[in-house]
Amino acid sequence: MNRLRRARPWLGTLVEISLAADFDTPALLVAVEAAYAAIARVHVAMSVHEPASELSRLNRSAHLAAVPVSADVLTVLRAALSFAEDSAGAFDPVVGGRLTALGLLPACEVTAAPQSTWRDVLIDGDQLRFRQPLRLDFGGIAKGYAVDLAIEQLHAAGIAEAQVNAGGDLRVFGPASQRIALRDPRAPSQWSQIVELDDQALATSAPYYAAGSSPSALIDPRSGSPYAGADSISVIAPTCLAADALTKVALFAAPALLEALLEQHDAQLLIQRCAD
């Protein structure tokens, strides 16, 4: 099979696509371009750092009146709200207000109400409205969704084997399992464990490379408290969206709720302890 590997900056990280098929190189390049186009679509719609993004527009105006939303944003939002409900708020896409207050997101024109939560987000068909000013942030789920879209594009193009890796949130498919190295939480530049994925996704949350005394960007949405641990939390699941979201659930949810969600999503939890 002919093989191709490309990397581009999207989603606030480097997105790498590796693929193989019985195609010539121009055909592989067409498939890669389709995959990156799907990733770019998510970035343009859901970046909280881009004032012109659809997500930023919603955060500015959805508390004033119902606003139409795109299919991509609606899909991610419905999934995020489901994880929020099932985890009793341990995962919450309305965490953006708390992250802004901590200086972890850029300032916004609208100040989020301090007690706003996922329960303040109302969906009516393809319309979205907020009960009060708040700030949606899809940082805990959008990368996984983008990876899944890219994988769908590669499948549709007839690619036989592929891996899409967005800064550690990744998904693979092909006739054989693929070996993935996990970073050592004690020395993130080194590998500590190898896992094998067979048409599966993997996501990891950990306070790697935290800048000095800066608070972790991993926030308990209910209290606003940053994750104080140093362990690495990885989840293997059928989709990268689920794996991405479940790593945050694993940090903050009650054990019984976490266990139920892992079972519901056919997911596996891997914890790498920082201390022996």
List, for residues 58-82, the tens digit of each pLDDT value.
999 999 999 999 999 999 999 999 9
242 pLDDT band, cuts 50/70/90, is very high
C-beta atoms surrounding 193 within 10 Å: 13
Per-residue pLDDT, 7: 98
Per-residue pLDDT, 125: 95
Per-residue pLDDT, 71: 97
Range(s) for CATH 1.10.3980.10 in the chain?
58-130
Range(s) for CATH 3.10.520.10 in the chain?
1-48+139-171
Rounded to the nearest 10°, the torsion over CA 96, 17, 74, 258 is -60
CATH T-level topology, domain 1-48+139-171? T-fold (3.10.520)
Q: Decide if pLDDT at 126 tops 60.
A: yes
Sheet holding 67-68, edge to edge: 67-68, 127-130, 121-124
End-to-end CA gap in the chain: 43
Sheet holding 268-272, edge to edge: 2-10, 13-21, 161-166, 169-173, 201-205, 232-237, 268-272
210 pLDDT band, cuts 50/70/90, is low
Per-residue pLDDT, 213: 52
Average the pLDDT over 22-39 and give the result: 97
Tell me the residue type at 98.
R
For residues 267 and 216, what is the distance between their CA atoms, to the nearest angstrom? 25
Q: Decide if pLDDT at 51 tops 70.
A: yes
Mean pLDDT (the chain) is 93
C-alpha R_g of the chain: 19
Element housing 122 (H / E):
strand 121-124
User: Is 3.30.930.10 the CATH number for 58-130?
Assistant: no
Per-residue pLDDT, 176: 95
Token readout for 248 is: 């945050």
Token readout for 5 is: 């590997």
Per-residue pLDDT, 209: 56
| Those residues with Cβ within 8 angstroms of residue 120's Cβ, 6 or more apart along the chain or in another chain | 94, 113, 130, 131, 132, 134
Q: What percent of the chain clears pLDDT 90, i.e. is strictly above it?
A: 82
Q: Decide if pLDDT at 211 tops 60.
A: no
